A and B are shown apart, each in its own frame.
Chain A
Amino acid sequence: MQFMLLFSRQGKLRLQKWYVPLSDKEKKKITRELVQTVLARKPKMCSFLEWRDLKIVYKRYASLYFCCAIEDQDNELITLEIIHRYVELLDKYFGSVCELDIIFNFEKAYFILDEFLLGGEVQETSKKNVLKAIEQADLLQEKTENMYHSRSFIGCKKSILEY
């Protein structure tokens, strides 16, 4: 995988993980163009598209787009599974994850991703192990206001997985 982007329906970036070295300017340009391309897709279209010399695999969960750029020899379907697995991990960690969780706890989103993927490849295929590792790291970390998803919302939270 070359990079993964998470962005909202308005095109606001919520997470960016780059596995290839690019300048800030280049990253911004790519992000802008890709976000535009993906947002222009209609809902019924399939999850794969070709963009520049990369394959783009994307999926929308509620108000968030999860978008990965993979290389020619990479498998699209397994990338879809990777995206889904990541969402499941977020969901398990945050308890019915929604976009706001990812906004207010973006570092956690990164940490979870970093326990699942490494250098653009899957490092751990067991959901249990990933969540365990995060738990342990959290425990290690001193208690600061960044740690816990202290935002409690009135009413029942609906996970983006349920959309």
Chain B
Amino acid sequence: MLVPSLKVQDLIEEIRGAKTQAQEREVIQKECAHIRASFRDGDPLHRHRQLAKLLYVHMLGYPAHFGQMECLKLIASPRFTDKRVGYLGAMLLLDERQDAHLLITNSIKNDLSQGTQAVQGLALCTLSTMGSAEMCRDLATEVEKLLLQPSPYVRKKAVLTAVHMIRKVPELSTIFLPPCAQLLHERHHGILLGTITLIMELCERSPAALKHFRKVVPQLVQILRTLLTTGYSTEHSISGVSDPFLQVQILRLLRILGRNHEESSETMNDLLAQVLAVNILGRFLLNSDKNIRYVALTSLLRLVQSDHSAVQRHRPTVVECLQEPDTSLSRRALELSLALVNSSNVRAMTQELQGFLQSCPTDLRADCASGILLAAERYAPTKRWHIDTILRVLTTAGAHVRDDAVANLTQLIGGAQELHAYSVRRLYCALAEDISQQPLVQVAAWCIGEYGDLLLEGSCEEIEPLQVEEEEVLALLERVLQSHMSLPATRGYALTALMKLSTRLRGDNNRIRQVVSIYGSCLDVELQQRAVEYDTLFRKYDHMRAAILEKMPLVERGGPQVDEEAKESKEEARLLEAAPVPTEPQASKLLDLLDLLDGPSEDAQHPRPLDPSPGGALVHLLDLPCAPPPAAPIPNLKVFEREGLQLSLSFVRPPETPALLLITVTATNTSGGDVTHFICQAAVPKFPAAATGPQWGHSSSSGWPSDDPAPQNPQS
């Protein structure tokens, strides 16, 4: 008669005991035969056990379609055990592609209307998992009735089943829309959650529904507020946040409702500001979970623009995040840290960031270095600190700083007269240690050239006394010149520095003259030209040497100024790189340029041709090595003409970045004589996005939009 069948767990154990795939298949085939037999004429009491075994086998990947009918039988059985397994089977074995699935509709209907709560729950669960469109249509009214059932257990399931039904049959929205308003008054979190999900579905499918539900925004706001102000509840809280599942759903719905709708957004704003409560984000920052920390950092970064002080509160934690081994986290932390630097915390922050710079991964170095330099630029408490900071950055990550860092630093040092001695000593020491970091070498070379006399004088209060011999200095510069690590630009700096030293040092200049003449036949054209010119200075114009090579004048700091020495390399300098081109009539723009150059405004500096003297050569200040100006309608402009020196401007707008305007200043010497020691200084107005530092008093009528953020801040 009845062979005592295996218990489910025994079967599982037997299957797991099988040593090979073949063995397993054997066990299973044998068992399936039993199961089939028992389905046919087995004991109805144990039918559920047979189905459970079948379901296990099905999960292992074996066919189980012959169990479908059993599911139906079990669902129809009055026993709860049978129903439980039967419905589970239905969810696993039946889906809308099988014809058989419709057969359970009737059972479900009966269970929904007459079953106990638990049974109703089973039916609703199955319906929402595998209910097809036909089933949904048939059962919609039943589910609707259940929405009003007293038991929250059933109601919460009914609401989510409604969600599923609407997804399958959108027309059913009409049935499920009206109860929503009522359901929102529920206190049960599960029901609320389901209702909000339901409203979201309705709104996404119909603009009319969206409009209709806008009026519940205040209610949603209220619910959210209550959630926020409620204390910790063990039931619903995760990490101190009350019912995040519900909060997230409410926020999602608010987002949908508030989209492009002024009034709703207004109502939400106040609350959202609280929610954003950087406090919640702050707590996320402390979370040990990396994913959460990442999202917290990202959100804080977005916030820091609008609510700076609130985010400041979390500065210490953010700084800690810099130590993260995970690069995506440390990158975010870096961005956020840089955004958080202000005048009061600049020393501490820079310290932290410098530390980070030393150990950070290479892809972050450039950003970190630029960030530190920018922060130093904006908030430096003293010049000496500023110089120290830049120096440190150059030493640590010299290869990664941007090109204009060199120019900025030289200009900064030049402007700090009291710090010349200090700077030149520090730079000398740094250079002596390491001649590979190009920006550092360039600045050091320039400095040594300019202030070599201070270097040799030996005393400076701010630094330990340093005894430097002339020969050492020259040797160092020669090393730089000869090193294969030095870029052509660097060698240019070094050569010029050597030349300047010829007037600063007290010894004789034979060594320098030797070097200069050697380089007269250097393969590098730029170096060769310089060398030849310097050589000529020595030989024919020695009396002028001192005048020509005297210290450079201090530059007025009104904004980021590009200080170009006439014989500097031919690197392209974009004068007004940061100017976002306004869509104003071109004429006014040109006029403004003229104002800039000729007017009395503090930022304009006239190019000063010094005493023209024989010797020297045609000087091209700036050469744009790129294409000829495209068909841009801006004509060339002659802006200056005096004593044979002409200056003209030409405008080029590169096709790939139309927002950029490249202006070339061409100086032409039309006199019979020569022009030397030509200095052209250009002042670039600064367009601060976050207004700090020296301000330009530009009114918008000047044509320079003062509130547009510069696409490339020349400082960074």
Binding site for B on A (CB under 8 A): 12-19, 21-23, 28, 44, 46-48, 73, 75-78, 80-82, 85, 103-104, 106-107, 110-111, 114, 118-119, 121-129, 133, 136-137, 140-142, 144-146, 150-151
Contacts and interface: CB of A to CB of B under 8 A. Distances in A.
Contacts of A103: 12, 16
A21 B130 contact: yes
Given A23-B97, A125-B243, A144-B49, A111 B161 contact: no
B59 A16 contact: yes
Closest 9 A/B residue pairs (Cβ): A119-B128, A119-B164, A118-B160, A145-B7, A126-B235, A124-B190, A140-B80, A125-B245, A141-B81
Contact of A121 (B9, B59, B163, B291): B163
Nearest to A80: B291
A81 B241 CA distance: 12
Interface in B650-666: none
Contact of B84 (A21, A73, A124, A141): A141
Contacts of A14: 59
Contact of B193 (A76, A125, A127, A151): A125
Interface in B146-179: 153, 156-157, 160-161, 163-164
Nearest to A76: B291
Nearest to B247: A78
Contacts of A133: 121, 153
11 contacts: A14-B59, A44-B326, A78-B245, A85-B238, A107-B85, A119-B128, A123-B156, A127-B235, A128-B235, A137-B118, A141-B84
A76 B281 CA distance: 17
B236 A125 contact: yes
Nearest to B12: A104
Given A44-B326, A111-B84, A141-B80, A146 B295 contact: no
Interface in B316-339: 326, 328
Give the interface centre of A17, A121, A140, A150 by most chain B CB atoms within 10 Å: A121
B246 interface: yes
B88 A110 contact: yes
B194 interface: yes
A7 to B, nearest CB: 10
B120 interface: no
A119 B156 CA distance: 12
B160 A119 contact: yes
B56 interface: yes
A126 B236 contact: yes
B248 A78 contact: yes
B118 to A, nearest CB: 5
Given A81-B238, A119-B129, A123-B156, 5 more contacts: A118-B125, A123-B160, A125-B190, A133-B153, A144-B49
A107 B248 contact: no
Interface in B201-260: 235-236, 238, 243-246, 248, 252
Contacts of A46: 290-291, 294, 328
Nearest to B95: A21
Interface residues of B, number: 61
A44 B290 CA distance: 10
B133 to A, nearest CB: 10
A118 B124 contact: yes
Given A123-B194, A124-B190, A133-B153, A81 B244 contact: yes
B132 A21 contact: yes
B79 interface: yes
B515 interface: no
B679 interface: no
Nearest to A110: B88
Contacts of B245: 78, 81-82, 122, 125
Nearest to A119: B128
A104 B14 CA distance: 12
B190 A126 contact: yes
B96 interface: yes
A101 B7 CA distance: 16
Contacts of B197: 121
Contacts of A76: 291
A14 to B, nearest CB: 8
B55 interface: yes
B88 A150 contact: no
A106 B56 contact: yes
Contact of B52 (A75, A136, A140, A146): A146
Given A28-B61, A106-B59, A145 B125 contact: no
A78 B246 CA distance: 10
Contact of B8 (A15, A124, A145): A145
Given A78-B248, A104-B9, A118-B124, A136 B160 contact: no
Nearest to B294: A46
Contact of A77 (B8, B52, B157, B292): B292
A19 B130 CA distance: 7
Contact of A140 (B91, B118, B161, B326): B118
Contacts of A141: 80-81, 84
Interface string B32-70: 000000000000000011001001100111000000000
Contacts of B194: 118, 121, 123
Given A128-B235, A146-B7, A146-B49, A123 B190 contact: yes
B189 interface: yes
Nearest to A113: B125
Contacts of B248: 75, 78
